[in-house]
Amino acid sequence: MSETAGGVEKPGLKDHPFVRWLTGAVLIGGYLRLIKLTSKVVADPPDWWERVQADWPVIGVSWHGQSNLAYACIPETKNLALLISNHPDGRMAAAVARSFGYRTVDGSGASERQGQGTGGLTAFRNMLKALKSGTTLFATANIPPIPDRNVSLGMIALARRSGRPVFAIATASSRRKVLDRVWDKMQINYPFSTIAFAAEGPLWMTDEKVTNEAYAAQLKGMLDRALERAFAIADAGK
């Protein structure tokens, strides 16, 4: 948004759908391809993709702000969909994802600070349909724009309802900048790096005796460990 009239913001040039597509698919997508082309990817564990395929379809999750590099590093995008927010920034992320061949499910979870227009219920239904049809889903575990890394109970509900396992995923590059003052500690990656792709799982959430909160805490531990390993592997490759 660029102007205000009577207290109402008017759309600016950057809000135009074509500009969002151009920014996402061409500029950001092209930059991610440049990083991948000029860098070495190290996977931990090395057979993580085979493990995912053995349990297909699965639910892959990462922390918000740590996922963009994964778009370029996942070996194959066939039968893989991403949950993308309806927020304007999310529209650019959707353009990035589609440029790599991913399907997208529009919507996000609701929070106290962002409760309207998220499309969460419809997205939840569409994610269940996708999993039932054999499509693996990739989403961020936490709900924007809440600081601190805590797992959304919506991800737990999706895993329990679908009966599909969850994998925690994290990526990091040896040449990077982490925006510590941004709510999600967004990671900016640079070309000519060692890229670490860390994964942990599967976590099946099918035990009725385990509470949603307990599963959320377990998944948070997996995500934190995966991110810590990704940073360590990337830094070792400097």
Contact 161, 125 (CB under 8 A): no
The residue behind tokens 């190290």 is 42
Residue 218 class from Cβ within 10 Å (0-12 exposed, 13-18 middle, 19+ buried)?
A: middle
Q: What pLDDT is attached to residue 13?
A: 64
Q: How many CB atoms lie within 10 A of CB 179?
A: 12
- Percent of the chain topping pLDDT 90: 64
> Sign (positive/negative) of CA torsion 99, 101, 105, 111?
negative
pLDDT digits (tens, 9 = 90+) for 93-116: 889 999 999 999 987 654 434 444
Q: Does residue 160 lie in a domain region?
A: yes
- What is the mean predicted confidence (pLDDT) over 167-184? 94
The per-residue b/e assignment along 96-126, b for 16 or more CB within 10 angstroms, e otherwise, is bbbbbebebbbbbbbeeebeeebbbeebbeb
The residue behind tokens 């590099």 is 69
Query: Whole domain around residue 99: which residue ranges?
Result: 10-236
Q: What pLDDT is attached to residue 86?
A: 73
What's 159's domain CATH number?
Answer: 3.40.1130
Question: With bands split at pLDDT 50, 70 and 90, how would you rate the model's confidence at 91?
Answer: confident
Q: What pLDDT is attached to residue 220?
A: 97
Q: Does residue 3 lie in a domain region?
A: no
Question: With bands split at pLDDT 50, 70 and 90, how would you rate the model's confidence at 1?
Answer: very low
The crossing angle, in degrees rounded to 10, of helices 153-162 and 212-236 is 110
- What is the mean predicted confidence (pLDDT) over 129-149? 88
Q: Does residue 4 lie in a domain region?
A: no
Question: With bands split at pLDDT 50, 70 and 90, how would you rate the model's confidence at 38?
Answer: very high
Which residues contact residue 51 at a Cβ distance below 8 angstroms, ignoring those fewer than 6 apart?
45, 167, 199, 201, 202
Q: What pLDDT is attached to residue 57?
A: 97
pLDDT digits (tens, 9 = 90+) for 56-71: 999 999 998 887 899 8
Higher per-residue pLDDT: 3 or 55:
55
- What is the mean predicted confidence (pLDDT) over 30-35? 96
- What is the mean predicted confidence (pLDDT) over 131-149? 87
Higher per-residue pLDDT: 3 or 158:
158
Q: Does residue 146 lie in a domain region?
A: yes
The answer, as to whether pTM is greater than 0.75, is yes
Q: Does residue 5 lie in a domain region?
A: no
Number of independent structural domains in the chain = 1
Contact 69, 173 (CB under 8 A): yes
Residue type, 153: L
Distances in whole angstroms, Cα of residue 81 to Cα of each of 84, 138, 196, 215: 9, 6, 22, 23
Distances in whole angstroms, Cα of residue 46 to Cα of each of 6, 55, 115, 150, 196: 57, 16, 40, 27, 11
DSSP strand pairing (166-173 vs 136-140): unpaired
201: left (phi over 0), alpha (psi -120 to 50) or beta: left
* 14 DSSP 8-state letter: G
Question: With bands split at pLDDT 50, 70 and 90, how would you rate the model's confidence at 8?
Answer: very low
- Which residues does residue 169 pair with via DSSP β-bridges, in sequence order? 199
Higher per-residue pLDDT: 40 or 119:
40
Q: Does residue 23 lie in a domain region?
A: yes
Q: Which residue in 142, 156, 140 sits closest to 211, CA to CA?
A: 156
Work out the mean pLDDT of the chain and round it to a whole number. Answer: 87
- Percent of the chain topping pLDDT 70: 87
Q: Does residue 61 lie in a domain region?
A: yes
- Judged against a pLDDT cut of 90, whether residue 164 lies above it is answered with yes
- What is the mean predicted confidence (pLDDT) over 18-44? 93
